[in-house]
C-alpha cells in the first residue's frame, strides 16, 4: 500500500513540478467563483442581466491564467494593466456591434495586433491576448451599448479579485518553488533508482535493458534544469544567500551526474557495484533536503521580498513548447517570425469569417476564434497539430457536456458544482495538454448553456462545425501563406547548438573555468537540446511522416553531441596542453557546421552511426583519461554531422 502511494505521489510530482499547474488552477477557479458571486449580487441589486456579468468572470479567468513575467513586480504591472486594456477593447467591440462589417474588420485588426506584438516579450503577449479576448467577449455576449458601463465595472471588479488572489491569497514564493521543485527532482531520482533496481533484479535478462531506463534518465535531466532555475530565481528574493544557492545548485548537478554515470556504465559494471552506486545515489538525494531546509531558513529570516519563482514556470513552458520565437527571424526571411504568424492568422480569420457567416449569421465568430488560437506554435506543424487538438477536444467536449447536462438537468446546485469543477480541470490542463483544456472548456460551456436553458444539440453541433472551419482555414494558411517550415526551424536550432558548442569549447581551452561556470555552460547546451527536441516534435510525430526518421536521427545525433560535450566540459583538466590543439581543431569544425547547416538539405541527414552514447564508459578514471575519451567521442559525433552536411562544391 505504501509503495503504491509513493509511486502515485512521485508520478504526480513529476507531472506537475513545482505545483505550478495546481496553483494556477486554484487561482483561476477561486477568482472565477468569487467574481461570479459578487457580480451576481451586483446584477441583482442593479437589475442588470446576469449574463453580462459573466464577461467579468471570463476576464477574471484569463487574468489568473496569463502573465508569466519573470519577476513579481513585472507581473503586478501587467495585472494592473489588464482591466484597462480589457475595458478599452470591450468598448470598441460594443461600439462596433451595430455594424457587422465594422465588427469583422476590427476582429482582423485585433487578430493581427495580438500576434504581432508578441515579439516585444511576455507582457505584450499577455496584453495582446487579453485585448483579443475582451473584444471577442463583446461579440460573444452581444453587449448592448446601454449596458457597457456595467460590464466594464464587472471587468474592474474581476481584475481586483484576480490581483488579490494571485498575489495575496495564492502567491508564488521562493520557499514553495524550491521545496516543490526539489520534491519533483527527488521523485525523478527515486523513479530512476527503482527502475534500475528492477532491471538489476530481473532474473530473465542477462543484461539490464537500458532502453527501459532511458526515459527516467531524461526526466531526471529535465527536472534538474527546473530545480536549478527555481534555486537561482529564489536567490533574487533572498539577500545574502548567493553562496548557499551555489552550493545547493551544485548538489543538484552532482546528483544528476551521478545518475548519468550509473546509467551509462550499467552494462559495464557488475550488478553488485551498480547496486552499491544506487545506494550512494539514494543517500545523496535524501540528504538534498538539508540544503533545501537551510535555504528556506534563510528566506524565513530575511526581510520578505517579492519572489521571482514564477519565472521558472515561464522558462519551463518555453522549453516545453519551443518558444523563443524571435530567433527564427534570423533565417534570412523578409518578415519577422511574429509578423509572418500575424499575417497567416489574419488571412485565416478572413476566410473563416466569410465561411462562418455563410453558415450562421449569429454564431460566426467561433470559426475565426479557432483560426486565431491555432497560431501559437513555432511552425506550421505546430499549427496543424493545435488545430486538430482543438477539433478533437471540442467534439468530445460537446458529447460530455450534453451527457452531464442531461444527468444534472434541473439540479442547479450540482450543475454549478460540476461547472466549477470542469473549469478547474480546464485550467489545470492548459499547460499540459491543449486538447484536454479544450475538452473541459467545451464541457463547461455546454453546462453553462444548460443552466441558462439555452442548450440545444444543434447549437453545440454548430460549434463543432465552426471549429472545424476555423481549424481547416488555420491549417491551410499555415502551410501556404508565408509558411514557417519546421525543417528550416530545426536546422536553425541545430546551427545554434553548434555555435554554442564552438563558443564553449573555446572558453574551456583558453580559460581555466571554475566548476560553477562549467556547470552553467553545460546547462546552456542542455536547454538548447530541449528546445531542439520541442521544435522537432511535429516532424517526429504522425504529422511529420515523410521526415520522421530523419528528424529522429537529428535529435539522436544532437543528444549524443551534448552528451559527450557535457563529459568533456566537466572533466576537462586544468593543465590540458596536450588536448588544446585537438579542441581548437574541433572548434573550427563546429563553427563551420554552424554556418553551413541553415542552408543545407534536411533530407541529407542519415544515421550518425559512430555517436551511439551507449558505448560511453564512465568507470572511475583520472580527469585526463576521461577528457581524452570524451574528446574522441565528441569528434566522432561531429564527424557524423559533417558527413550529413557536406561542404557544397
Give the residue from 316, 290, 309, 17 showing the smallest Cα distance to 174: 309
Compute the distance between CA of residue 176 and CA of residue 136 in angstroms, rounded to an integer: 36
Phi, psi (deg, nearest 5) at residue 438: -65, -40
Please compute, for residue 605, the number of CA atoms within 13 A of its CA located in the half-sphere on the CB side. Answer: 24
Residue 304 has pLDDT above 70, yes or no: no
Compute the distance between CA of residue 320 and CA of residue 165 in angstroms, rounded to an integer: 27
List CB contacts of 495: < 8 A, sequence separation 6 or more. Answer: 593, 594, 595, 597, 598
Within a 10 A sphere around the Cβ of 195, how many other Cβ atoms? 18
At 236, the pLDDT band (50, 70, 90 cuts) reads: low
Compute the distance between CA of residue 95 and CA of residue 101 in angstroms, rounded to an integer: 12
Q: 521-555, pLDDT tens digit by residue? A: 888 898 888 888 888 877 765 555 556 667 777 88
Average confidence (pLDDT) over 577-589: 85
At 330, the pLDDT band (50, 70, 90 cuts) reads: very low
Identify the helix (H) or strand (E) that includes residue 511.
none
Share of the chain above pLDDT 70, in %: 83
Q: How many residues does the chain have?
A: 649
- pLDDT value at position 491? 86
Give the residue from 72, 562, 131 showing the smallest Cα distance to 314: 72
Please compute, for residue 389, the number of CA atoms within 13 A of its CA located in the half-sphere on the CB side. Answer: 24
Cα-to-chain-centroid distance, residue 561? 24
Cα-to-chain-centroid distance, residue 382? 13
State the helix-helix crossing angle for 50-65 and 412-429, rounded to 10 degrees: 30
Grid look-up 557488475 returns: 270
Residue 325 has pLDDT above 70, yes or no: no
Average confidence (pLDDT) over 206-229: 85
Average confidence (pLDDT) over 642-646: 80
Alpha helices in 572-610 (DSSP H): 577-596
User: What separation in angstroms does the CA of 447 have from each of 62, 402, 404, 427, 516?
Assistant: 19, 8, 7, 16, 54
**3-state DSSP assignment of residue 170:** coil
List CB contacts of 347: < 8 A, sequence separation 6 or more. Answer: 477, 481
Share of the chain above pLDDT 90, in %: 24
Identify the helix (H) or strand (E) that includes residue 117.
none
The secondary structure of 134-199 as a DSSP string is HHHHHHHTT--GGGHHHHHHHHHHHHHHHHHIIIIIS---HHHHHHHHHHHHHHHHHHHHHHHHHH
Q: Which range among 270-284, 394-408, 546-560 shows the weakest confidence by mean pLDDT? A: 546-560
Query: pLDDT higher for 417 or 269?
Result: 417
Query: What sign does the dihedral 126-66-469-51 (CA atoms) show?
Result: negative
* Residue 88, all three cell numbers: 478599452
> Can 174-308 and 486-644 be said to share one CATH topology?
no
Q: Taking a C-beta distance cutoff of 8 angstroms, is the pair 638, 561 a contact?
A: yes
Query: pLDDT higher for 157 or 249?
Result: 157
List CB contacts of 297: < 8 A, sequence separation 6 or more. Answer: none
- pLDDT value at position 237? 59
Residue 15 has pLDDT above 80, yes or no: yes
Residue 511 has pLDDT above 90, yes or no: no
DSSP 8-state class, residue 70: S
At 305, the pLDDT band (50, 70, 90 cuts) reads: very low
Q: How many helices (H) and strands (E) does the chain have?
A: 24, 0
Phi, psi (deg, nearest 5) at residue 514: -70, 170
Domain map (residue ranges) of the chain: 16-172, 174-308, 336-484, 486-644
- pLDDT value at position 443? 93
Compute the distance between CA of residue 497 and CA of residue 87 in angstroms, rounded to an integer: 44
Average confidence (pLDDT) over 372-396: 82
Within a 10 A sphere around the Cβ of 111, how many other Cβ atoms? 27
Give me the chain's average pLDDT, please.
80
Cα-to-chain-centroid distance, residue 608? 29
b/e 47-57 (16+ beta carbons within 10 angstroms → b): ebeeebbbbbb
**3-state DSSP assignment of residue 605:** coil
Among the four given CATH numbers 3.30.420, 1.20.120, 2.60.40, 2.115.10, the one describing domain 174-308: 1.20.120
Q: 117-168, pLDDT tens digit by residue? A: 998 888 899 999 999 999 999 988 888 998 899 899 889 998 998 899 888 8
- pLDDT value at position 95? 93
Compute the distance between CA of residue 60 and CA of residue 62 in angstroms, rounded to an integer: 5
Q: Domain 486-644: which topology?
A: Methane Monooxygenase Hydroxylase; Chain G, domain 1 (1.20.58)
Query: What sign does the dihedral 428-431-436-437 (CA atoms) show?
Result: positive
- pLDDT value at position 631? 87
Compute the distance between CA of residue 76 and CA of residue 158 in angstroms, rounded to an integer: 15
At 243, the pLDDT band (50, 70, 90 cuts) reads: low
Grid look-up 527503482 returns: 194
At 238, the pLDDT band (50, 70, 90 cuts) reads: low
Query: pLDDT higher for 613 or 551?
Result: 551
Grid look-up 511522416 returns: 545
Amino acid at each position: 500500500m505504501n509503495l503504491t502511494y509513493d509511486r502515485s505521489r512521485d508520478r504526480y510530482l513529476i507531472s506537475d513540478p513545482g505545483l505550478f499547474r495546481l496553483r494556477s488552477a486554484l487561482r483561476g477557479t477561486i477568482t472565477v467563483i468569487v467574481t461570479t458571486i459578487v457580480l451576481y449580487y451586483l446584477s441583482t441589486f442593479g437589475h442588470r442581466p446576469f449574463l453580462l456579468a459573466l464577461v467579468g468572470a471570463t476576464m477574471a479567468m484569463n487574468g489568473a491564467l496569463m502573465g508569466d513575467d519573470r519577476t513579481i513586480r513585472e507581473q503586478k504591472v501587467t495585472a494592473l494593466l489588464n482591466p484597462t486594456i480589457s475595458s478599452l477593447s470591450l468598448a470598441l467591440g460594443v461600439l462596433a456591434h451595430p455594424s457587422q462589417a465594422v465588427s469583422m474588420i476590427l476582429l482582423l485588426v485585433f487578430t493581427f495586433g495580438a500576434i504581432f506584438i508578441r515579439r516585444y516579450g511576455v507582457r505584450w503577449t499577455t496584453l495582446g491576448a487579453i485585448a483579443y479576448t475582451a473584444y471577442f467577449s463583446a461579440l460573444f455576449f452581444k453587449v448592448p451599448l446601454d449596458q457597457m458601463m456595467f460590464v466594464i465595472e464587472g471587468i474592474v471588479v474581476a481584475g481586483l479579485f484576480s490581483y488579490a488572489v494571485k498575489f495575496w491569497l495564492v502567491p508564488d514564493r521562493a520557499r514553495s518553488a524550491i521545496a516543490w521543485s526539489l520534491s519533483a527532482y527527488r521523485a525523478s531520482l527515486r523513479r530512476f533508482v527503482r527502475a534500475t533496481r528492477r532491471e538489476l533484479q530481473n532474473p530473465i535478462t542477462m543484461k539490464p535493458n537500458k532502453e527501459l531506463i532511458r526515459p527516467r534518465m531524461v526526466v531526471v535531466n529535465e527536472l534538474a534544469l527546473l530545480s536549478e532555475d527555481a534555486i537561482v530565481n529564489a536567490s533574487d528574493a533572498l539577500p545574502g544567500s548567493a553562496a548557499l544557492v551555489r552550493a545547493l545548485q551544485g548538489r543538484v548537478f552532482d546528483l544528476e551526474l551521478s545518475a548519468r554515470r550509473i546509467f551509462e556504465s550499467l552494462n559495464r559494471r557488475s550488478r553488485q557495484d551498480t547496486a552499491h552506486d544506487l545506494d550512494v545515489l539514494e543517500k545523496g538525494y535524501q540528504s538534498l533536503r538539508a540544503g533545501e531546509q537551510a535555504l528556506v531558513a534563510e528566506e524565513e529570516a530575511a526581510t520578505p521580498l517579492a519572489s521571482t519563482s514564477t519565472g521558472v514556470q515561464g522558462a519551463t513552458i518555453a522549453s516545453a513548447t519551443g518558444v523563443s520565437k524571435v530567433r527564427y527571424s534570423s533565417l534570412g526571411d523578409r518578415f519577422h517570425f511574429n509578423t509572418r504568424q500575424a499575417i497567416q492568422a489574419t488571412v485565416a480569420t478572413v476566410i473563416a469569417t466569410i465561411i462562418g457567416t455563410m453558415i450562421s449569421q449569429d454564431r460566426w465568430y467561433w470559426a475565426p476564434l479557432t483560426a486565431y488560437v491555432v497560431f501559437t506554435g513555432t511552425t506550421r506543424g505546430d499549427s496543424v497539430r493545435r488545430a486538430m487538438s482543438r477539433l478533437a477536444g471540442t467534439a468530445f467536449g460537446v458529447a460530455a457536456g450534453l451527457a452531464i447536462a442531461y444527468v444534472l438537468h434541473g439540479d442547479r446546485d450540482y450543475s454549478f458544482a460540476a461547472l466549477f469543477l470542469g473549469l478547474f480541470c480546464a485550467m489545470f490542463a492548459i499547460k499540459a495538454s491543449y486538447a484536454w483544456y479544450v475538452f473541459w472548456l467545451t464541457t463547461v460551456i455546454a453546462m453553462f448553456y444548460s443552466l441558462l436553458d439555452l442548450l440545444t444539440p444543434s447549437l453545440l453541433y454548430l460549434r463543432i462545425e465552426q471549429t472545424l472551419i476555423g481549424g481547416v482555414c488555420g491549417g491551410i494558411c499555415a502551410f501556404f501563406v508565408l509558411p514557417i517550415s519546421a525543417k528550416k526551424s530545426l536546422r536553425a536550432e541545430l546551427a545554434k547548438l553548434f555555435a554554442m558548442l564552438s563558443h564553449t569549447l573555446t572558453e574551456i581551452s583558453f580559460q581555466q573555468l571554475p566548476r560553477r561556470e562549467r556547470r552553467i555552460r553545460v546547462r546552456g547546451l542542455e536547454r538548447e537540446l530541449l528546445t531542439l527536441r520541442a521544435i522537432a516534435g511535429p516532424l517526429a510525430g504522425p504529422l511529420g511522416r515523410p521526415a520522421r526518421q530523419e528528424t529522429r536521427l537529428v535529435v539522436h545525433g544532437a543528444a549524443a553531441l551534448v552528451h559527450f560535450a557535457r563529459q568533456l566540459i566537466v572533466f576537462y583538466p586544468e593543465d590540458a596542453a596536450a588536448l588544446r590543439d585537438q579542441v581548437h581543431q574541433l572548434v573550427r569544425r563546429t563553427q563551420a557546421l554552424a554556418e553551413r547547416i541553415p542552408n543545407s538539405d534536411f533530407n541529407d541527414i542519415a544515421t550518425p552511426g559512430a555517436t551511439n552514447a551507449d558505448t560511453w564508459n564512465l568507470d572511475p578514471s583520472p580527469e585526463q583519461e576521461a577528457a581524452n575519451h570524451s574528446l574522441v567521442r565528441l569528434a566522432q559525433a561531429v564527424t557524423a554531422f559533417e558527413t550529413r552536411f557536406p561542404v557544397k562544391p
